[in-house]
């Protein structure tokens, strides 16, 4: 790894250098050097090289101010996104005794440069992490709302010594920190900051820390919501159901004084009604919502004039009907009369509109044909009988009864 110089980390010595900065041992004449490898600086764009040079100067000339060198190295990394720069950032963090942060930086370097690092480089990073981890501890952070509060604290942010920790509550993974006395702070909008002072010992694992968030208490006011239109409607306040309400029986909700709140009412067969209003008084506020029926008018003319009209299975008139129907869905219309083909159809009406429907029933041809056929058959049968008597040639031997024919019966 091409880093800056040898660093003493407490009792452990960690060699951090590159060939360009390596010292010659024993004062011996060095052997001829191999062709110089491309340095980290050489791989950076020009603007990042400027930040790199500034960082190197600060690091070498201002050992008491590693924060400034770290900031310049971070600038170079931000421009180039070259993960090799992260090694120098970690070095500055080590000089500040921010060992947990240095571990995270080195782990990030190993992850981002995994495809370009040699096995020796990876082993060197792991060795440094192994030394640093001895001077850290892990905490299990549990964030809870104040006593008696059912407010959710999910999404709260954690700050360790003023520096934001990645992620939000609930914290399901251990938090790596430096082994020392720490101040932890948890923040979330609408809550007072929660703090805890922790004494983290080197090598300590999964120490449990509980931090309480107290919700800000605001002055409250009550709002009575009345709803006109339907017999009853469901009222919501800021998306939460308040309960049923009508024009004579309001739903009363408690809201924060001085804030804007949204009140909404809904009922089947009616359009929703809503109003957003700032509650600016601590006295009881009465708020009215009016719901408009979802309905339209329909005019039905049926022929024959005495045909029965039914809607949704209920007989309502004969011949003609005019009235109001809900526009929130379809309705089954039936026109019928004995001897005629029944007409069934689903109809819909538009809110606030009038629809005219004219229906003429057709005579039931099937029944009429049966009657006609039966009538014709009777006539034909009668004619056949009469013709038999009128046109049949009589045979004197035909009558075998006791009566004798009168007169002479012709044979031709």
Contact criterion met (CB below 8 Å) for 346 and 333 = yes
Same domain, 46 and 122: yes
Report the alpha-carbon distance of residue 316 to residue 327 in Å, rounded: 18
- How do beta strands 285-290 and 220-228 pair? parallel
What CATH number is associated with residue 269?
2.60.40.10
* CATH code (residue 186): 2.60.40.1120
* In a shared domain, residues 56 and 95: yes
Query: What pLDDT, on the 0 to 100 scale, is given for residue 31?
Result: 59
57 domain residue, yes or no: yes
Classify residue 389: in a domain, yes or no: no
From 99, 114, 134, the end of a domain falls on 134
Same domain, 89 and 14: yes
Structural domain harbouring 301: 295-360
Domain-embedded: residue 30: no
Say if residue 187 is in the same domain as residue 305. Answer: no
Which of 184, 213, 242 is at the close of a domain? 213
**Structurally, how many domains does the chain consist of?**
4
- For residues 144 and 200, membership in a common domain is answered with yes
Whether residue 309 is found in the same domain as residue 335? yes
Establish if 164 belongs to a structural domain: yes
> Does the bond joining 304 to the residue before it have cis omega, within 30 degrees of 0?
yes
246, 146: one domain: no
In three-state secondary structure terms, 47 is helix
In the DSSP assignment, the letter for residue 34 is: P
Residues 185, 301 within the same domain: no
Q: Are residues 348 and 307 in the same domain?
A: yes
The one-digit pLDDT tens for each residue of the chain (412 residues) are: 433 343 443 333 333 333 333 333 344 445 555 566 789 999 999 999 999 999 999 999 988 899 999 999 999 999 999 999 999 999 999 999 999 999 999 999 999 998 888 999 999 999 999 999 999 999 999 999 988 777 889 999 999 999 999 999 999 999 999 999 999 999 998 889 999 999 999 999 999 999 999 987 777 889 999 999 999 999 999 999 999 999 999 999 999 888 899 999 999 889 899 999 998 887 889 999 999 888 899 999 999 989 999 999 999 999 999 999 888 788 999 999 999 999 999 999 998 899 999 999 999 876 544 444 444 444 444 544 444 433 344 343 333 333 344 444 444 4
The pLDDT assigned to 30 comes to 53
Identify whether residues 279 and 322 lie together within a single domain.
no
Residues 147 and 175 in one domain: yes
Q: Are 257 and 218 in contact (CB under 8 A)?
A: yes
Write down which residue in 134, 157, 179 finishes a domain. Answer: 134
- For residue 16, which of 127, 112, 109 has the smallest C-alpha distance? 127
Q: Are residues 17 and 112 in the same domain?
A: yes
């Amino acid at each position: 790894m091409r880093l800056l110089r040898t660093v003493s980390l407490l009792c452990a010595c960690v060699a951090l250098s590159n060939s360009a900065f390596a010292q010659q041992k024993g004062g011996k004449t060095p052997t001829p050097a191999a062709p110089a490898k491309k340095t980290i600086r050489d791989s950076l764009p020009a603007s990042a090289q400027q930040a790199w040079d500034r960082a190197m100067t600060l690091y070498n000339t201002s050992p008491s101010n590693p924060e400034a060198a770290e900031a310049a190295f971070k600038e170079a990394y931000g421009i180039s996104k070259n993960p090799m720069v992260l090694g120098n950032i970690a070095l500055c963090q080590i000089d500040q005794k921010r060992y947990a942060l240095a571990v995270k930086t080195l782990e990030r370097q190993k992850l981002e440069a995994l495809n370009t690092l040699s096995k020796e480089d990876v082993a060197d990073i792991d060795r440094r992490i192994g030394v640093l981890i001895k001077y850290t501890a892990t905490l299990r952070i549990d964030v809870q709302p104040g006593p008696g509060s059912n407010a959710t604290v999910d999404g709260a942010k954690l700050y360790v010594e003023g520096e934001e920790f990645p992620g939000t509550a609930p914290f399901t993974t251990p938090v790596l920190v430096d082994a020392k006395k720490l101040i932890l702070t948890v923040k979330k909008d609408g809550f007072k900051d929660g703090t805890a002072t922790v004494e983290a010992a080197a090598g300590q694992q999964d120490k449990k820390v509980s931090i309480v968030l107290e919700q800000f208490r605001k002055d409250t006011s009550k709002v009575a919501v009345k709803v006109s239109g339907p017999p009853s409607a469901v009222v919501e306040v800021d998306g939460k159901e308040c309960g049923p309400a009508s024009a004579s029986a309001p739903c009363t909700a408690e809201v924060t004084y001085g804030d804007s709140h949204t009140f909404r009412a809904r009922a089947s067969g009616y359009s929703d009604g809503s109003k957003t209003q700032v509650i600016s008084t601590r006295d009881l506020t009465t708020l009215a919502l009016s719901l408009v029926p979802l309905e339209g008018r329909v005019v039905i003319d049926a022929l024959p004039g005495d045909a029965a009209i039914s809607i949704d299975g209920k007989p309502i008139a004969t011949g003609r009907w005019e009235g109001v129907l809900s526009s929130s869905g379809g309705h089954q219309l039936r026109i019928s009369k004995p001897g005629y083909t029944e007409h069934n159809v689903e109809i819909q009406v538009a809110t606030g509109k009038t629809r005219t429907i004219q229906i003429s029933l057709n005579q039931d041809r099937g029944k009429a044909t049966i009657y006609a056929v039966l009538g014709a058959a009777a006539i034909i049968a009668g004619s056949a009988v009469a013709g038999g008597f009128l046109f049949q040639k009589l045979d004197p031997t035909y009558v075998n009864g006791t009566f004798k024919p009168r007169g002479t019966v012709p044979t031709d």
